[in-house]
């Protein structure tokens, strides 16, 4: 199975594997959502199996909860855990200040609550997510279904006075019906192409009635771990300014891939 990984999956796996080095015995962890975060859950499960690592995770989606349970990673709720040591999650884009766009997997609301309730957030990503300016990836905004078309119109009107390049807003679909999040909401995708002032945009969007949360994570992420398909892994710490590069061994026979067979 491992030998069949695409270069992008290999990069995601390496980032996830390196990030799990930050996990210490006894930690309470936020478990992100998405394909990169799924690798992280697999790497964590391997450390639990092989080292007897004791951790408990708070999943950020029903998908992650299901995967963690399937792989034997103990989980709990945020209300039980109250505060977390570390959250490890993927991202759709990150910039030089480690501000993020998240929500490509429609889990931004739980992801933001969980990351904010953590001492530290580590983002794991392949190098394609590294951007000089956020906005090429459509910005997800979670809205309540009641009056969503009015909320969409208000979002479009608000964008007129903001520093963005484009203002198309679309409702995310799941086949013929609107996609419904774990919190029973809808997602609007804002096709902005370039976000000049992410901090201002994040604040203004959350003032609109009907908007529950937006996918801009500002000053939440501390470290990004970037995987490269050639085996290199870059660790960038926004607080210390340090950038480290090393190699992570890719072990094709690892039983980490067992659930994918
Ligand atoms: C889910 C997210 C994901 O972290 C983001 O979409 C990245 O996904 P992937 O690791 O599959 O590229 O924000 O809501």
Same domain for 63 and 153? Answer: no
Question: If you take atom 8 of ligand 1, which residue's CA is the nearest one?
Answer: 34
List ligand 1's pocket residues with C-beta within 6 A: 32-37, 89-92, 102-108, 111
Question: If you take atom 10 of ligand 1, which residue's CA is the nearest one?
Answer: 36
CATH number assigned to the domain comprising residue 188: 3.30.70.260
**How many whole angstroms from 38 Cα to the centroid of ligand 1?**
10
- Would you state the pLDDT for residue 252? 57
Q: What is the torsion angle, in degrees rounded to the nearest 10, for the CA atoms of residue 22, residue 24, residue 30 and residue 35?
A: 50
For the chain, what is the mean pLDDT? Answer: 95
Q: How many domains does the chain have?
A: 2
Same domain for 244 and 120? Answer: yes
**How many whole angstroms from 107 Cα to the centroid of ligand 1?**
8
**How many whole angstroms from 221 Cα to the centroid of ligand 1?**
14
Pocket test residue of 34, 115, 128 for ligand 1, highest count of atoms within 8 A of CB: 34
pLDDT digits (tens, 9 = 90+) for 107-140: 999 999 999 999 999 999 999 999 999 999 999 9
Is residue 242 part of the annotated active site? The answer reads no
**How many whole angstroms from 90 Cα to the centroid of ligand 1?**
5
Asked which of 182, 198, 214 is the last residue of a domain, the reply is: 214
Same domain for 100 and 161? Answer: no
Taking residues 178-199, report their average pLDDT: 98
Closest atom of ligand 1 to 103 CA is 14
pLDDT digits (tens, 9 = 90+) for 131-155: 999 999 999 999 999 999 999 999 9
- Would you state the pLDDT for residue 2? 58
Same domain for 224 and 196? Answer: no
Of 46, 93, 111, 213, which residue is the catalytic one?
Answer: 111
Same domain for 76 and 154? Answer: no
Same domain for 28 and 65? Answer: yes
- Would you state the pLDDT for residue 257? 72
pLDDT-derived band at 254, boundaries 50, 70, 90: low
Question: If you take atom 4 of ligand 1, which residue's CA is the nearest one?
Answer: 90
Closest atom of ligand 1 to 104 CA is 6
- Would you state the pLDDT for residue 125? 98
pLDDT-derived band at 250, boundaries 50, 70, 90: confident
Taking residues 219-235, report their average pLDDT: 97
Same domain for 224 and 210? Answer: no
pLDDT-derived band at 256, boundaries 50, 70, 90: confident
pLDDT over 70 (residue 253): no
Same domain for 9 and 42? Answer: yes
Same domain for 248 and 191? Answer: no
Question: If you take atom 6 of ligand 1, which residue's CA is the nearest one?
Answer: 104
Same domain for 157 and 248? Answer: no
**How many whole angstroms from 102 Cα to the centroid of ligand 1?**
6
CATH number assigned to the domain comprising residue 9: 3.40.50.1360
Same domain for 58 and 103? Answer: yes
Same domain for 91 and 121? Answer: yes
Question: Which residues constitute the domain of residue 157?
Answer: 139-214
- Would you state the pLDDT for residue 132? 98
């Amino acid at each position: 199975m491992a030998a069949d990984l695409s270069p992008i999956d290999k990069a995601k796996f390496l980032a996830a594997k390196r990030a799990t080095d930050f996990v210490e015995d006894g930690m309470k962890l936020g478990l992100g959502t998405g394909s990169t975060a799924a690798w992280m859950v697999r790497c964590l499960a391997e450390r639990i199996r092989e080292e007897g690592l004791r951790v408990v995770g708070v999943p950020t989606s029903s998908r992650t909860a299901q995967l963690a349970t399937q792989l034997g990673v103990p989980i709990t709720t945020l209300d039980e855990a109250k505060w977390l040591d570390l959250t490890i999650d993927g991202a759709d884009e990150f910039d030089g200040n480690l501000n993020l766009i998240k929500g490509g997997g429609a889990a931004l609301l739980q992801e933001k609550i969980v990351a904010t309730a953590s001492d530290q957030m580590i983002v794991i990503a392949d190098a394609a997510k590294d951007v000089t300016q956020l906005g090429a990836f459509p910005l997800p905004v979670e809205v309540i279904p009641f009056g969503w078309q009015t909320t969409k119109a208000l979002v479009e009107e608000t964008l007129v006075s903001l520093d963005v390049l484009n203002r198309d807003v679309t409702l995310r679909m799941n086949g013929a019906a609107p996609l419904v999040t774990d919190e029973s909401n809808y997602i609007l995708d804002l096709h902005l192409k370039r976000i000049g002032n992410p901090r201002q945009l994040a604040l203004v969007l959350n003032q609109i009635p009907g908007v529950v949360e937006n996918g801009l994570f500002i000053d939440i992420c501390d470290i990004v771990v970037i995987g490269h398909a050639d085996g290199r892994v870059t660790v960038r710490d926004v607080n210390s300014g340090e950038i480290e590069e090393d190699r992570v061994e890719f072990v094709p026979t690892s039983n980490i891939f067992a659930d994918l067979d």
